[in-house]
Amino acid sequence: MLFNSRIFILYFLPAVYAGFVFLTRIRQERAAVGWLAGASLLFYSWWNIACLPIFLASIVMNFVFGTWLARSPSRSLFLFAVGLNLLALAWYKYAGFLFQTLDQIPGVSLSVPSIVLPLAISFFTFQQIAYLSDAHDGRAVEHSFPDYLLFISFFPHLIAGPITHHREMLPQFTQLLRSGGEVGRLTVGLTLFLTGLTKKVILADPIGTYVGPVFSLAREGGIPSFTLAWSGALSYAMQIYFDFSGYTDMAIGLGLLFGISLPPNFDSPYKARNIIEFWSRWHMTLTRFLTAYVYNPITLALTRARVKSGRPVPKRGKTTPGAFATLTAGPTVFTMFVSGVWHGAGWQFIVFGLLHGIYLTVTHAWHALKAHRPSLVRPETRVKTVFSVLLTFLCVLVGLIFFRVADVGSACRILLGMAGHSLRQPLSMPDIAGVTATQVLALVVLGLIVWFLPNASQWMRDYRTALEPEAGFPRTDGSFFALKWRPTFAFGLLTGLVGTLALMRALSAAPTEFLYFQF
């Protein structure tokens, strides 16, 4: 069930919200938990009810293991439970890719199994692994099964995030229901929902129509012209930006309707001045998970090994950049490899992850060099900032090509086109005509929105929307923006007009999936 579909907007959401308000007003707290959990399971099974038993089995299994680990921590039990989660993820998401890869080896003949990929398996698997880890370490408090079920299945974030944490979600359920339901944030929640819907159906979907032909040409073996390659890549960068940020706004807005604040997950990543900052703004909850449960444990293990062997531990600014890089490069590249594999089964996703691992390693090395040699530090200027943002965006753009294509070869052909492969001969009229004035104008308008207008959290900065980000994930200061949302008649009229346009567009055509649904 899609947020931008008729069934969700006209039937599912009003019915679920009405039932929730009724139950909380008559103080039926446990019934309200069951109502939201049941509605979330219906939401999940709407796409394919055959995936529901797998989803429920995963929730029950991890609740039982988490309860045991919270009562009696056991390293063996923890590893066994995590192993079962990873085994299920590997089978449903990666078995087909593995069999297909092995089948290409000369002399090997394998039949590729037909496996239905359960919706959002990457999201709810990572979420539950984090819970198991905290239960093992004594940082998770026992909760009832209905609360845990709602924590995992809460429909606003279930399909494409944010990846929530038990410490920030389970207490909210308890506080919300004991207070009889905080349903007074209807205005802010609906405004965010309509903002996200507008991004999806008014901005992301139209620019996405220019993406398919270019990438299809590359998949069929053709090399796009210089203009087509760049227009296709830029169009996809804008499509995924507004598609993902639109989903995030809609998810956070839906959470607010039920008095639940979700964590921030998208904070103007194309404004980032380096790749480290980019990953603190793009899919912030995934970065948080990978940092806490992949990067930090590996770095800690390497540090302990160095201390045990009597070798010094490199520290930024106090040792040479090369020594510091030896400690961070491996964990960084491996963590981003995990990020790439998490996003999908295919060599293109592996390249995407490794590419960003290299980006991050180079950035960390540069920062370490500047810390070691302060003379390299130059004052921040507007020109320097613009150059840093554009360079970072170019690196991200290259990575996004691998994110979108069906195989590595297609990505290489698009990169060849962007590098000017077609410029060896004069551009033909079909090449130039392939990029319309409408597309160019759309890209310009979207670029102005991305780099010069506030995002949703900045626009509504006087009102609490998402949870405060954890340390290491600073939110962008929006104080220099004059544009600010207020619950006035003028803003209400503007929101109503734009929201009505978005609703009319969403309800008048078949809904398109959000790009992150495939993960």
Q: Which residues contact 57 (CB under 8 A, 6 or more apart)?
A: none
Question: CB of 457 within 8 A of CB of 465?
Answer: yes
Structure-block tokens of residue 85: 């989660």
Alpha helices in 181-257 (DSSP H): 186-198, 205-208, 211-219, 226-257
CA distances from 358 to 157, 364, 413 (A): 30, 10, 21
Residue 263: cis peptide before it, omega within 30 degrees of 0: no
Distances (CA, A) of 261 to 165, 238, 462: 12, 27, 15
CA distance 65 to 71: 10
Q: Which residues of 271-300 are buried (b: 16+ CB within 10 A; e: fewer)?
A: bbbbbbbbbbbbbbbbbbbbbbbbbeeebe
d(CA 192, CA 456): 7
Residue 343: CB partners within 8 Å, gap ≥ 6?
A: 122, 349, 352, 353, 403, 519
Annotated active-site residue 421? The verdict is no
Which residue's structure tokens are 């929101």? 495
Distances (CA, A) of 313 to 300, 301, 332, 361, 454: 11, 12, 17, 18, 42
Q: Contact 110/103 with Cβ under 8 angstroms?
A: yes
Query: What's the one-letter identity of residue 139?
Result: R
Helices (H), 373-436: 382-404, 408-418, 429-433
Instruction: Extract the tokens encoding 203.
Output: 């901005």
Q: Rounded distance, CA 487 to CA 460, Å?
A: 10
Closest CA to 509 of 10, 1, 5, 2: 5
Distance CA 504, CA 152 (A): 32
Q: From CA 286, how far away is CA 279, in angstroms rounded?
A: 9
The two counts, helices (H) then strands (E), for the chain are: 25, 0
Q: How far apart are CA 448 and CA 484, in angstroms?
A: 17
Catalytic residue among 136, 166, 283, 343: 343
Report, as residue numbers or ranges, the catalytic residues: 343
